[in-house]
Amino acid sequence: MSARELYGTWPTFWRGPVRGMAGLVRVDGKTYEFMGHPTQDNIGTNLQAKQVGLKVTPTQSIFTFNAGPIVLEVNFFTPIDPTDLKRLSLPASYIAATVRSTDKSKHDVQLYIDLSGEWTSSDVNEVVEWDVFKVNNVILNANLHLKNQKTFDEFNDMAKWGTIKFFTDSLITYKAGDSVSLRSKFVKDGILDDIVDKNYRRINDNWPGVAFARNMIASEQRSETVFYGVAHVRRPAINYTDSQLNQLWESYFSGDDNKMIDFVLGESQAALKRAVDLDSRIVADAHKVGGDSYVKVVSAALRQAFGGTELVGTPEKPWLMLKEISSDGNCQTVDVIYPHFPVQLYLNPLLLKYLLDPLIDNQEKGYFPYKYCIHDLGSSYPRCIGHRDGKQEDMEVEESANMLIMMSAYVRATDDKDWATKHYKIAKQWTQYLVDHGLITGDALTTDDFLQRIKNSTNLSIKAIAGIGAMAQLSEKVGNQADQKYYRQIAENYVTKWIDYAEDPSKKHLKFSYNTANTWFMVYNMYADILLDTKLVPEWVYKQQDEWYLSVPNKYGVPLSNVDAQTKLDWVMFTAASSSDSRLRQLMFDRTAQWLRETTGRVPFSDRIDSNSGQPIHFINRPVIGGVFAPLTVNRK
């Protein structure tokens, strides 16, 4: 949504195109608008339900309205199930609607929700087709899809193949056709006429869509809740280097869409309970770390973090694929997975392995020609075909260190010695690159590539050193004591030199790079040292940095460097996680929460903002926002 209100504006895709979904509620013959902006089409009603509440939890967005003598609650929720791959792989989310009376009387209520052809494509000149049918006589399902499907292609970052499924129980009336006639029919009669207009046409040709209407009873004694599901099925899902992969849910339902949506709707109540339970866990953990402010931050981030991922493959070989949203369209970008991975490490470390496995698979098979780690598995998701020619955005030190740090984090969390042994050779290969190039990095790109190449970046070098320390841990896990001693000694030696190169002459902070005195940078990569407990960076360095950050905050937080006011909120939370100063941590939580409340940039959670004005800077809706969970992955005192 581009606003905090559900009514008066249309839902939108993260890039901006409208995803038409309208909601109307009829109470004792009077029709109120509560979602979208259908009254602009002169459908016969000018009443708006009054929004009186919005509650956002990690898995739910709950809107509350007064509509005459009733209260309507509309809950958009996604029950993220981090330890249940079957349920986590479902490409579906829920809408739950509840009504109750406010005046001690019963009221006849009719609820209407529609969904337009805009859900199938951002190109409104595409022809959309649709149908409505019953599943097992208990579910009514509407399918919408493009007439001309183009597998593995996107338009404006939206898939050009697949099917949108909109479904609910069969105790309803329905209609498919142009949106104005759907809404006008409901306003007039409170029901729909179970007619499907088969005049398939362009999305912008009278805006075809599908609508459901139902009868409900609102009383003071009982609240009635009904459920809807929206799913997006793509088949196949991923074009990998040497194969095509389906979404993982297909393995559990024999590739049968109807079985899948039957399962989804059949456990609606249980799914809502699981969502509430996960919310309770995350909120309790976040509150212990950073109070109400940090609760607000993680609540705004969870669904976005998972929204950029999908499970593919089979239960025996599941992979978690990630799209680099907004900043690029790359597949499985290593330096996007790195800021994302704290959310997976916190919820279920196995999911981190499923993120790393496709990258390791590609390189162990020899599909990438260089000794350092690949940057991504493809320039355009979902074409995850790698870079056999080696042509990519090279971040040689960055990506090699990222992989080693995440590999060690996974192994430490799970004690998976077999996995560490299986991939020990490729880990040594990347570590050697860090030994050769990690202390003196030269002109190198970092994950913050909007800063262009940095000569001998202080922040990049400590990540490389942490990567070497991570390799020492992997060596210890597999029982190679010689390698463990060798890599540990190198890491310790490099840290001593790093401090000498990086310390500013003022002795108040570390420099932006070895070559630039009187500069500073948020050295968020020290988080790896804390997370892995490598104890490479002396505690006095952390305390010095903490004191410096406390002296330079802007209205919405600590800037990334002295260059300008921009900051990265994922890196802010990495820095909070590595800080031992409770004042700094709370400042970072409080000012990020303040930004969420006050920003006028109504876009999905931006990770890159101006720390003075609060305006988002280009990046929106990126899975890197999983990095705000970093403070939940450490026990820093």
**Model confidence pLDDT, tens digit, residues 361-392:** 999 999 999 999 999 999 999 999 999 999 99
Q: Which two tokens stand for residue 330?
A: 């790359």
User: H/E element holding 164?
Assistant: strand 163-169
Interstrand relation of 309-314 and 317-322 (parallel, antiparallel or unpaired): antiparallel
pLDDT of res. 172: 96
What lies within 8 Å, CB to CB, of 142 at 6+ separation is 115, 130, 131, 132, 165, 166, 167, 174, 176, 210, 212
In terms of Cα–Cα distance, which of 167, 320, 170 is closest to 232?
167
SS3 511: coil
Q: For residue 551, give both structure tokens.
A: 């002296």
Residues 6 or more apart whose CB falls under 8 angstroms from that of 625 comprise: 301, 304, 305, 340, 569, 570, 605, 607
Instruction: Say how far apart CA 368 and CA 95 lie, in whole Å.
Output: 44
Backbone phi and psi for residue 335, each to the nearest 5 degrees, phi listed first: -85, 5
- CA distances (Å), origin 563, targets 207, 445, 518, 545, 566: 48, 17, 11, 17, 9
| Residue 407 CB-half CA count within 13 A | 37
C-alpha 105/C-alpha 446 separation (Å) is 64
Q: Are 356 and 350 in contact (CB under 8 A)?
A: no
The pLDDT value given to residue 637: 67
> Residue 39's pLDDT band (boundaries 50, 70, 90)?
confident
Burial of 168 per CB tally in 10 Å (0-12, 13-18, 19+): buried
Predicted pLDDT at 330: 97
CA distance 293 to 467: 32
CB 103 within 8 A of CB 15: no
Element (H, E) at 231: strand 224-233
Q: What tens digit of pLDDT does each residue of 473-495 get?
A: 999 999 999 999 999 999 999 99
DSSP state of 333: -
Whether 170 has a pLDDT exceeding 70, the answer reads yes
Q: Do strands 30-35 and 47-48 pair parallel, antiparallel, or not at all (unpaired)? A: parallel
pLDDT digit string, tens, across residues 50-106: 999 999 999 999 999 999 999 999 999 999 999 999 999 999 999 999 999 999 899
Please tell me the predicted confidence (pLDDT) of residue 221: 75
Main-chain dihedrals φ then ψ at residue 422, nearest 5 degrees: -60, -35
What's the chain's average pLDDT?
96
Give the pair of three-digit tokens for residue 6: 């559900």
CB-based contact 560:571 (threshold 8 Å): yes
42, HSE (Cβ side, Cα atoms, 13 Å): 0
- The CATH H-level (homologous superfamily) assignment of domain 21-234 is Glycoside hydrolase, family 65, N-terminal domain (2.70.98.40)
Q: Is the dihedral of CA 204, 210, 215, 221 positive or negative?
A: negative
Query: Considering the chain, what percentage of its residues have pLDDT values greater than 70?
Result: 99
Identify the weakest region by mean pLDDT among 43-57, 255-269, 431-445. 43-57
> Do 207 and 118 form a contact (C-beta atoms < 8 A)?
yes
Cα-based torsion angle of the residue sequence 228, 230, 233, 239 in order, rounded to the nearest 10 degrees: -140
Each domain of the chain, given as residue ranges in start order, spans: 21-234, 237-254+308-393, 302-307+538-637, 395-537
What whole-number percentage of the chain has pLDDT above 90?
93
356 to each of 335, 352, 374, 426, how far by Cα in Å?
12, 6, 12, 12
User: Is 238 in contact with 317 (CB distance < 8 Å)?
Assistant: no
Which of the four pLDDT bands, split at 50, 70 and 90, describes residue 1?
very low
Helical axes 582-598 vs 569-578, angle rounded to 10°: 160
> What is the residue whose two structure tokens read 């509840």?
98
Q: Report the run of H or E that residue 404 belongs to, with start and end.
A: helix 396-414
pLDDT, tens only, 531-551: 999 999 999 999 999 999 999
CA distance 164 to 119: 7
Following DSSP, what letter does each residue of 432-463 receive, concatenated? HHHHHHSSS--EE--S-GGG--EETBHHHHHH
pLDDT at 2 over 80: no
Distance, CA of 11 to CA of 3 (rounded, Å): 9
Q: Is the pLDDT of residue 220 over 90?
A: no
